Structure 1
Amino acid sequence: MRIAIIGTAALLTLGLSACNKQEMTVGAPVAGGARATAMLRTADNADVGMASVSEVAGGLRFTIDAKGMPSGTHGAHVHMVGRCDAPDFTTAGGHWNPTGMKHGSMNPQGPHEGDLPNLIVGTDGRGTLGITIPGATLAGLLDADGSALVVHAAADDLMTDPSGNSGGRIACGVFSAA
């Protein structure tokens, strides 16, 4: 009995080690990996930060560094068209969704590749966000019509199609190769 318990524990440990090793490879930096950036601007063209994306093992790493934004929790999404025409940035289109999934990480039929976690902005107007999206590619992001990063006025509920009830678009930036 004791040998069976020790054997089972050893197999579980080995299995968990293999899972951790696999998770660690997704998101690892890629030497010479391509990058893109987007300068975030409000409808009145105020500079409110930057979004960057870089190729990593198994996907793309998105980073947002916001400044001068209203404090609070804001939905942040990659949108499917590389246009940010004021005043409402609707020219950025809907969320980037090459896999045809539903919106939100809490949605059993989601998430799609344009879903990012909420951006939390402090009372100093600053906020940062970083996430790796497995399976996403820079070629898909920078396709013929490009893509944009949009910050919304309210928090994303991470579930409701099509945009998580995250309100109007308050900042936008078009991704371009860096």
Structure 2
Amino acid sequence: MKKWIWITMILTSVLVFAACADKKNDPAPAIETEGEVNEGTNATESAEVEDELPSVKVHLMDGNGKPVGTAELTEEEDALRIMVEAEGLPEGPHGFHFHEKGVCEAPDFESAGGHFNPTGASHGLDHEEGPHAGDLPNLEVGPDGTVKEEFFVENLTLTPGEENSLFHDGGTALVIHAEADDGKTQPSGNSGDRIACGVVE
């Protein structure tokens, strides 16, 4: 009788150990950790950031150093998009250009130099040997002194190292003039004084 009891106990122990060994060999259940989830999210965010087009906001000020608006520059596939919003300007058309130096010293902004013109072209959107890379259409300011316009320019870029890049050595500035640009008079379209300026940076 005792012999059967011992045999039963030994068999029970063997079965218990065998069951424990099977559990140790089972693969651990897959657990999705918070770190793994975040890593996937960050990868997606990184991809979205890479897909974003280069963009810069230019802050415009008047001759008294007072902010008057902004111009948002965005690199598109085949053009530079310029979105301008400003206020406190005289009603009517105003010459609007990129200038060759990234310096805006009030009150006259002469520190910005001449028009941005890396190819040595003539001034004017209507000139047969133009325009300067920095020549833009006139801004049309409303009776309330505000303007909101969008332009697409094909001969400018924000990509450093390119001949027509606004981030060339010395920088560039965006200038609003007192009068309309006539599109042909050298060197600046007879557009008068510089009444607002912003550095492209």
TM superposition score normalised by structure 2: 0.70
Amino acid at match of 2:75: E
Structure 1 or 2: larger helix share?
A: 2
Q: Where in structure 1 do 4 or more consecutive aligned residues deviate above 3 Å?
A: none
Structure 2: distance between partners of 1:129 and 1:95: 21
Deviation of 1:175 (Å): 1.1
Is contact 1:96–1:112 with CA below 8 Å preserved after alignment? yes
- Structure 2 unaligned segments of length 5 or more: list them: 1-49
Does residue 63 of structure 2 align to residue 43 of structure 1?
yes
RMSD: 1.4
The structure, 1 or 2, with the larger RCO (C-alpha pairs under 8 Å, 6+ apart) is 1
Q: Which has the larger radius of gyration?
A: 2
User: How much does 1:59 deviate?
Assistant: 2.7
Structure 1 residue 76, shift from structure 2 partner: 0.5
| Structure 1 residue 33 corresponds to structure 2 residue 46 | no
Which deviates further from its counterpart, 71-80 or 55-64?
55-64
Partner of 1:76: 96
User: Where does the alignment leave 5 or more consecutive residues of structure 1 unmatched?
Assistant: 1-29
Q: How many residues align?
A: 147
Mapped partners of 1:120, 1:33: distance in 2: 27
CA 31–158 in structure 1, closer or farther in 2 if over 3 Å, else same: farther
Cα distance between partner residues in 1 of 2:150 and 2:186? 23
CA–CA separation in structure 2 for the residues paired with 1:100 and 1:132? 21
State the alpha-carbon separation in 2 of the partners of residues 160 and 129 from structure 1.
24
Matches within 5 A, 1:13-162: 31-138=51-158, 139=160, 140-162=165-187
Percent identity over the alignment?
47
Please state whether the residue corresponding to 2:120 is helix, strand or coil.
Answer: coil
CA distance in 1, matches of 2:197, 2:113: 12
Cα distance, 1:57 vs. partner?
1.3
